[in-house]
Amino acid sequence: MPKQGAFTFVLHSHLPYCRKAGRWPHGEEWLHEAASETYIPLLNALTDLINDGVTPRLTIGITPILTEQLADPTILHNFEEYLDEKIVAAQADIDRLADVQAVWEAAQRAEAEPEPEPTPLLSSEELESLITKNDALLSSTAGDSPAPLHAGLLSATTVASADVAEIDEVVDAAAEEELEVEPELEEPAPLEQPDPHKAYLAQWYRDWYSMIKRSFIERYNRDIIGAFRQLQDAGYIEIITCGATHGYLPLVSRDSTIYAQIAVAVQSYERHYGRKPKAIWLPECAYRPAYYPEDRSETERKPGVEEFLEAQGIECFFVETTTIEGGAPLDKAEGKILGPYGDTLRKYVVPVTREVPPTGNSTLQPYLVGLSDKVAAIGRHHKTGLQVWSAEWGYPGDANYREFHRKDSESGMQYWRITGPKVDLGFKDYYHPDWINDKIHAHADHFTNLVHQVISEYRGQTGRYGLISSNYDTELFGHWWFEGVDWMREVLRRLAANPDIDLTTASEYIANNPPRESLNLPESSWGSNGTHQTWLNPETEWMWPIIHGAEKRMEGLVAAYPQTDGDLAEALAQTARELLLLQSSDWPFLVTTGQAQDYATKRFNEHVERFSQLADAIEANDLGLMRELTASFNDLDNPFPTIDYHVFAAREGLVA
């Protein structure tokens, strides 16, 4: 019996370039956390399914700049050190909590033991008798002896018979003298109470990180990218590409930048994965249609993004839900930033309105885009995406799942669970790993049933074989939602066995079900309100003239040196790297969100400065300085080792 429809997870894996640019809280540990909590667990989940006889299928994007970093020996060496540090930190908690337990138990035993009874005092008669016996013993063994040893004792007996008032006087004086000399003793600090559940969690984390390290070394031979490549070569997954450094394409000024971001991405993909990519996740799902520029001195028409993709052999990309269906922004694209930031007034080749009314189109079908008959767009499916993205309805908010935000002050381990939607961090309950298995299976069942329901209803209403593209940032799973990778594994297990649904990949679906209709897509992103405002606003607008100036300057360098080799060619290649790195959408994003504003500003300015210094040396024809700067900057910024600086040649209005 034919299947009713198809499903694919589409995962977008991306982190900023942070090699040798700090470790914590901003820098390489972003990579280490994602590798340990997301990428290796995902590899384990897929490998385990295959070992269980299940055929998992999914679409996963690994951005070129992330691929370059995950394949870098320095990053991988530091990652192994990071895992060792986490194991040591967990063990330190185990030891510390064991010491607390031991001290507590010793104190409890001491309290439980009965106090010894005091030795009874001798009466005057008993004391006199004892003295008499001792004197007799001493006189039988010695001749003339010194004063009896008990002389002082006899003095004490004499004092005992003194006047009571005199004794009181002596005691009071001694007490006063003691108060003057000896300070009053402080009350001892209360003992730290033992915490057996926290000790159990510390052991659990130590074992978990040890398992991740074993997987990295023994299962994947310290080669994360190679492990994903093997899964693609075996037909289980499709790896898709992205802009080389995640540059925000609609806001760059030169067509040379759009060409370079895609061309370098394709070259990097071929070098790491041994084939050309068929699909792409546009950075931030940001799309620019063709339009007529106000200044037409260089070109009458600026091509749409789909035209650049077609020139590179890419047949598919992904867009936000409302780009296909129209209407108001939904979940991922909803934002609370007010104002017209990102509104770009352009005269489009195919006119579109700024507000997109409902179209009647469906994200369950791909559509050819603009004037292209080869490039299709697939929209993010809202209803299934809501199950993970929504803070109110999503599975990750379950009370028993691990709390992301609270960390132990000494080890950094996350020992707590969400507990409830409005529970303050200080009142979170401890995490219970043994509680989550039932939740994972229940949520996997719910999601699978939802997918089946959506596919069945669409087939019943239209008679068509549709595709659910459920799109997420990969790092949501494992890093943010700790149990998310296990949930995804169980969803894939269930859908692989479902008689009505095909598990597929994006390009496979397009190949087997060519799009029937074309759409003229509006300029859009999956950022706040579906616009560019997350990347262009009063906090970030100062960056864009700098980026635009660097684009023009690089075109000038390529024109000045159309053919060269040796040190000059190396310097031009490093200049191209720095231009790609300063174009990253991560820098304005981190400034806007405030997540790492100072760090992002610093990183952007560093790449701008490196680009400028190299360009100055090249324009001055200072070969000595060129060599020095190229070596210094390449030690820090070494992605895309085979980059050809000619990708930045001026090409306004051209896509190849």
What is the three-class DSSP state of 558?
Answer: helix
Q: Which of 102, 99, 97 is nearest to 199 (CA)?
A: 97
Q: Is 567 exposed, middle or buried (0-12, 13-18, 19+ CB in 10 A)?
A: middle
In angstroms, the CA 36 to CA 76 distance is 11
DSSP annotation of 355? S
Percent helix / strand / coil, the chain, rounded to 5: 50, 10, 40
Contact criterion met (CB below 8 Å) for 607 and 583: no
What is the DSSP code string of 24-65? SSSSTHHHHHHIIIIIHHHHHHHHHHHHTT----EEEEE-HH
CA contacts within 13 A on the Cβ side of 56: 25
Residues making up the chain, counted from first to last: 656
Q: Which of 14, 17, 15 is nearest to 640 (CA)?
A: 17
Measured from the Cβ of residue 335, the count of other Cβ atoms closer than 10 Å reads: 14
Whole-Å CA distances, 63 to 239, 399, 479, 538 = 10, 33, 18, 28
End-to-end CA distance of the chain: 45
Dihedral sign, CA of 493, 494, 495, 496? positive
φ, ψ at 584 (rounded to 5°):
-55, 135
In angstroms, the CA 618 to CA 627 distance is 10
- Mention every residue, 6+ apart, whose C-beta is less than 8 A from residue 158: none
Enzyme catalytic residues: 284, 473
Q: Is 563 exposed, middle or buried (0-12, 13-18, 19+ CB in 10 A)?
A: exposed
DSSP annotation of 537? S
